[in-house]
Copies of this chain bind each other. A is one copy, B any other.
Amino acid sequence: LGGIFLKIWRFLEKARKLAIAEPKKVIHGLKVGLAISIVSLFYYMRPLYEGVGGNAMWAIMTVVVVFESTIGATFCKCINRVIGTSLAGLLGVGVHWIASHSSKNIEPIILGASVFLLASAATFSRFLPTIKAKFDYGVLIFILTFSFVSISGYRVDKLFEIAHERFSTIAIGTSLCIIVSMVFCPIWAGGELHQLICRNLEKLAYSLDDCVAEYFKDNKTAAVATEEDCSKKMLGYKCVLNSKATEESMVRFARWEPSHGRFNFRHPWKQYLKIGASMRNSAYCIETLNSFVNSKIQAPAHLKRHFKRICLRLSTTSSNVLQELTTTMKTTTKSSKIELLVGEMSFAVEELQNAMKSLPNHLMTTPSSSSSSTSEEANIEPVTKFTMSPFVEILPLTTLVSMLIQNAA
């Protein structure tokens, strides 16, 4: 029994931590509660109850199912629900009309066959990428409503009344959802996406810095505690690696949202996907880099020393560029410093390339060169990385961000 209490306690502890870390999620919970309470007024007040004829259940259902944490997602689901319901309702009434004008014997056959065919086709269409991305929920509702309407038609006489009631309750539910989600502490998918990208950019900058610093650290005997602390920051790029699906769904929802705050209706959300992709590319580079930090084969100390200054400098300049990009993103204004920083970075790249050119001579002069060259690759590796990574990551980013700024201005 104590074990169960301990589990519940741990669960509550986790919930408390999440609530403190992300108060938006608590607010979302409260908003759902509020919306359901408002919609349940239809039960408590007699005039309202009689107005919708006891079908208030559908309004509650709509609220519970449709309410999502961001406005774009709520909007998308509402539209899906309304379109799916009305389309299926019309089709269902049509099929019912055909069936009722045929002989009594084949009526259930016509109804059954139409349900079977349409449900199969609609379910299959949910696998098509275009449908899945935009209308997955709508197709589900279509199947549901069509089955209801065409089958109920066999037993229920007042089909039109039912359809009308169902439609009005859904309309009540969806409009309530949209109003509540927009009036009380609105959470915009676009804003969330923007913040996510900013956070990821920042994490990339920190990871890059820390990775290189870690690689060139002289004494590996530092306390384990600080290493763990450091690796937490270093592993920030892992979030970037796995953020593809989140970004895509957020962009999808953000495109539904009306203009709000700094974002217009036709804000170039697709640019964010491109930024995300190039960020993921640089995260791959950092991943490879990081595997060198942890690998047992280490470059000889003298080579490390030789490259330390230039590499550190390059990583600092490029992470400066990343941080400057972050502030640029945050304020959505063009930064004057960015070109200076990019220039500094390109200079560091050139310097490194020069250092690379002088490497063979260096190898010849050091006596231990031929025996250490196996592990020398571990040094050249990050160096190559650095000459590569700025090109891979910075060039598309700067062009993208400047495009973005032009669009936003």
Contacts and interface: CB of A to CB of B under 8 A. Distances in A.
Interface of A: 11, 14-15, 18-19, 22, 25-26, 28-30, 32-34, 36-37, 40, 43-44, 49, 54, 57, 60-61, 64-65, 67, 108, 111-112, 115-125, 127-128, 130, 140, 143-144, 147-148, 151-152, 154-155, 242, 244-245, 281, 284-285, 287-288, 291, 295, 353, 356-357, 359-361, 363-364, 369-371, 373-374, 377-378, 380-381, 383-384, 387-388, 392
Contact of A380 (B61, B121, B380): B380
27 contacts: A11-B128, A14-B128, A15-B124, A15-B125, A18-B128, A29-B124, A30-B120, A33-B117, A33-B118, A33-B119, A33-B120, A43-B152, A44-B108, A57-B148, A64-B144, A284-B288, A291-B388, A291-B392, A357-B373, A357-B374, A360-B360, A360-B370, A377-B384, A377-B387, A380-B380, A380-B381, A381-B384
Contact of A288 (B29, B37, B285): B285
Contact of A127 (B25, B60, B61): B25
Nearest to A154: B43
Given A36-B119, A44-B112, A377-B383, A128 B364 contact: no
Contacts of A244: 242
B360 A369 contact: yes
A65 B144 contact: yes
A188 B377 CA distance: 46
A379 to B, nearest CB: 10
Contacts of A117: 33
Most buried by B among A34, A124, A144, A381: A124
Contacts of A115: 33, 36-37, 40
A116 B18 contact: no
B380 A356 contact: no
A235 to B, nearest CB: 14
B29 A121 contact: yes
Given A54-B155, A57-B148, A288-B288, 8 more contacts: A29-B123, A29-B124, A32-B119, A33-B118, A60-B144, A357-B373, A359-B373, A363-B363
Nearest to A49: B155
Most buried by B among A36, A65, A112, A291: A36
In the complex, the 8 A-B pairs of residues with the closest C-beta atoms, listed nearest first? A29-B124, A33-B120, A29-B123, A33-B116, A29-B120, A32-B123, A377-B384, A33-B119
Contacts of A388: 291, 295
Contact of A357 (B44, B108, B121, B370): B370
Contacts of A116: 33-34, 36-37
Nearest to A387: B377
